[in-house]
Amino acid sequence: MYKEYTTITEVAGPLLLVEGVEGATYEELVQITLPDNSTRRGKVLEIDYDKALVQLFEGASGVDVQQSRVRFLGKGIELNVAIDMMGRVFDGTGRPIDDGPEIIPEDKKDINGSPINPYAREFPREFIQTGISAIDGLNTLVRGQKLPIFSGSGLPHNRLAAQIARQAKVITGEQFAVVFGAMGITFEEAQFFQDEFKKTGAIERAVLFLNLADDPAIERISTPRMALTTAEYLAFEKNMHILVILTDMTNYCEALREVSAARKEIPGRRGYPGYLYTDLATIYERAGRIHGRDGSITLIPILTMPEDDKTHPIPDLTGYITEGQIVLSRTMHRSGIYPPIDVQQSLSRLRQKGIGPERTREDHDDLFSQLYAAYARGVQARELSVILGEAALTEMDKKYYNFAEIFEQVYIGQGEYTDRSIDETLDLSWELLSVFPNRELKRISKKFIEKYMSKFREKAVASE
């Protein structure tokens, strides 16, 4: 029997202060009954002796301090999980919004989960194919990795997120699924994601959690935890390899700042709470692999950098926790290149663990080094031509200049519905590098040049 309290002493925005409380705990669920017998939900944010600060999910309008009743439910926010969640769409609190039936739970999980013991972690390895050359070839995604995408307002990060979700796969043929969590998106964006998943059939191997911009801030804070709780169930109990995509983490952090301000906490950098790093870590560090478990969780958080500022607290702290970043370029976007990935600023720190023989191909690492070096020299030649004019470039500089242009248009700019296998990406690399004489390919082993280059040189000569 739950005890009810009628001791609400203060209402401030979405917060209630309840006094005379016994035995309440942090993160405990709360039910508020209004004078008209309608109910609201909330959770305990803070405990101070017999006082409990409660955050309402649906807002405080209509709450009567004198007549409303508060009941503490003795448990945290839980999610009903089952394999039947595959192919379904939920809101930020785990309720179905796709007109399908309620989930019959196989289990109930606390959405806050448990951090993976560092001793139990297995090092990320094995390749995940996204079908996007700029990622697969140069910033390879590895099972168990945390690889964020740094974007900006107006850049096509949502289209890129949908493309990765549609195309991602493990080439070993093991069970693979996508858990997609969207926070603070518009109704049109929510419809876009659902349509993209459904029309390509990707919905059958995906679970979607969609939190809209007009939903309560506290729901936005729960959404990524709902997604990761589902991923943990599928990965570590159903032995699947799960890719979790979270967009947009900036909206999540804004909700965190809103709740922090309502609690009158001392703000940190740019008004964000001082515990922002710790809070982000509780999300990001739930990805990984565990010794003795076949499944894995790979995480791609997407965030929009305010004013394209990489030193902003959100991308800055995200960079400390994760293993690299993929950066979208506004300049390339204006040039009509999609996806506009800036490969010079992007980095996957675990790339080498997921490539090579039996994972991608033996020539992958050498091709990465040569492509990166050739593109960097081409960009340098392009900058030089702006200052001195093309006449000042040597013939070899002009080759690199042209290579950089073609590389951006063909290799990076592959289009939204082009799904390249890793072999197609590596073959394209050889084809682009075939314009250079062997003496310029200093970063590729001679045995690989002899094995792979001949057919592309012959093709280039035939086309001339």
For residue 464, what pLDDT band results from cuts at 50, 70 and 90? Answer: very low
Which residues make Cβ contacts (< 8 Å) with residue 101, sequence separation at least 6? none
Out of 24, 46, 72, a domain closes at 72
CA distance 22 to 52: 9
Same domain? For 46 and 148 the reply is no
Q: Are residues 33 and 82 in the same domain?
A: no
Which residues constitute the domain of residue 310?
78-353
Q: Are residues 160 and 308 in the same domain?
A: yes
pTM, 2 dp: 0.92
Q: Is residue 458's pLDDT more than 80?
A: no
Domain assignment present for residue 358? The answer is: no
Of the listed ranges 42-46, 338-342, 344-348, the least confidently predicted one is 42-46
Q: Determine, yes or no, domain membership for 436.
A: yes
Q: How confident is the model at residue 459 (pLDDT cuts 50, 70, 90)?
A: low
Does residue 141 form part of some domain? Answer: yes
The whole-number pLDDT of residue 45 equals 85
Residues 64 and 186 in one domain: no
Are residue 161 and residue 220 in the same domain, yes or no? yes
Residues 84 and 66 both lie in one domain: no
Q: What is the mean pLDDT of the chain?
A: 91
The answer to whether residues 33 and 120 belong to one domain is no
pLDDT higher than threshold 70 for residue 462: no
Whether 126 is covered by a domain: the verdict is: yes
Helix segments in 361-453, DSSP class H:
364-388, 395-406, 422-433, 446-448
The confidence score (pLDDT) of residue 75 equals 85
Residues 92 and 27 in one domain: no
DSSP 412: I
Residues 254, 184 contacting (CB under 8 angstroms):
yes
Sign for the pseudo-dihedral over CA of 39, 42, 44, 48: negative
Tell which residue, 15, 26, 21, has the closest CA to residue 54: 15
Report d(CA 146, CA 350) in Å as an integer. Answer: 10
Q: In this structure, what DSSP letter does residue 450 have?
A: I
Give the rounded percent of residues in the chain with a pLDDT score beyond 90. 65
DSSP H helices in 144-207: 157-167, 187-199
Cα dihedral 170, 236, 349, 309, rounded to 10, equals 100
164 and 36 within one domain: no
pLDDT tens track for 132-184: 999 999 999 999 999 999 999 999 999 999 999 999 999 888 899 999 999 99
pLDDT for residue 367 is more than 50: yes
Count of other CB atoms within 10 angstroms of residue 287: 28
Calculated CA dihedral for residues 352, 356, 359, 361, nearest 10 degrees: 140
199 within a domain of the structure (yes/no): yes
**359 within some domain:** no
**Boundary-marking domain end, from 36, 51, 72:** 72
Q: Are residues 119 and 205 in the same domain?
A: yes
Q: Tell me the C-alpha distance between 384 and 378, whole Å.
A: 10
Q: What is the pLDDT at residue 280? A: 95
For residues 269 and 385, state if they share a domain.
no
- Give the phi and the psi of residue 245 in degrees, each rounded to 5: -115, 125
Q: Is 176 helix (H, G, I), strand (E, B) or coil?
A: strand
| Residue 221 sits in the same domain as residue 267 | yes
Report the C-alpha gap between 268 and 216 in whole angstroms: 23
CATH number (domain holding residue 28): 2.40.30.20
Cα–Cα distance, 300 to 285 (Å, whole number) = 12
- Residues 410-434 have a mean pLDDT of 94
Q: What is the pLDDT of residues 222-280, one digit of tens each?
A: 999 999 999 999 999 999 999 999 998 999 999 999 888 877 888 889 999 999 999 99
**Per-residue pLDDT at 407 exceeds 90:** yes
Read out DSSP for 294-355? S-EEEEEEEEEPGGG-TTSHHHHHHHHHSSEEEEB-HHHHHTT-SS-B-TTT-EETTGGGS-
Domain boundary among 48, 72, 96: 72
In a domain, 270, yes or no: yes
Tokens 């959100």 identify what position? 314
Q: How many domains does the chain have?
A: 3
Band of residue 19 on the pLDDT scale cut at 50, 70, 90 = very high
Tokens of 390: 């093309």
Q: Is 185 a residue whose pLDDT tops 90?
A: yes
Q: What is the maximal distance between C-alpha atoms in the chain?
A: 87
Supply the CATH number for residue 271's domain.
3.40.50.12240
